[in-house]
Amino acid sequence: GSVLFWAYFYPTDMLSATLGQWMDWHRHQLQSAAGLPDKLRDTLDYINRVMTPLEGAQMAGSDAALVADELRLTADMLRHGAKRLLLILGDSSADKAGLNDDLLAIEARYRDIWLARNRPGGLDDSLTRLEKARAGYR
């Protein structure tokens, strides 16, 4: 699976312990373990470039605004996952307080978007995963 996906669902201490193993599995993509922070920063830049056209998009459909919100949330979650890994790698561009605030905002938007698109069932379970991820920032 995607390293950004797993960045959310593993506690930070477990990620720290297993990151070397993950890097060994994906060494062909990274070239070297030392290259991971640069790859993550490249990923952040890529997400920003991909999302820029969304602001000028003219989507049709009754749920166009919701679709745009879902895409923004997805991009923000991907960014957060990359920053979370940068924190674990000891990169100075990421800090626990900032990531905690970031994830609190993501959780609130996630709840709103979920309820706009789905029934409430399953929301609490899904939010619990984000809350567990945020626990690593305390």
Give the pLDDT of the chain (138 residues) as one tens digit per residue.
566 776 766 677 766 676 667 666 655 555 555 678 888 999 999 999 999 988 888 889 999 999 999 999 999 999 999 999 899 888 899 999 999 999 999 999 999 999 999 999 999 999 998 998 898 898
Considering only CA atoms, which of 118, 93, 115, 83 is closest in space to residue 8?
A: 83
pLDDT at 127: 93
- The four Cα atoms 28, 30, 33, 36 give a dihedral, to 10 degrees, of -160
**Backbone dihedral region of 83: left (phi > 0), alpha (psi from -120 to 50 degrees) or beta?**
alpha
pLDDT at 43: 92
**pTM for the predicted model, two decimal places:** 0.81
Q: Residue 91: is it exposed, middle or buried by C-beta count within 10 angstroms (0-12/13-18/19+)? A: middle
pLDDT at 32: 56
Measured distance CA(7)–CA(3) in Å, rounded: 6
Quote the tokens at residue 92: 């100075």
Rg of the chain's alpha carbons, rounded to an integer? 16
pLDDT at 23: 62
Amino acid at 137: Y
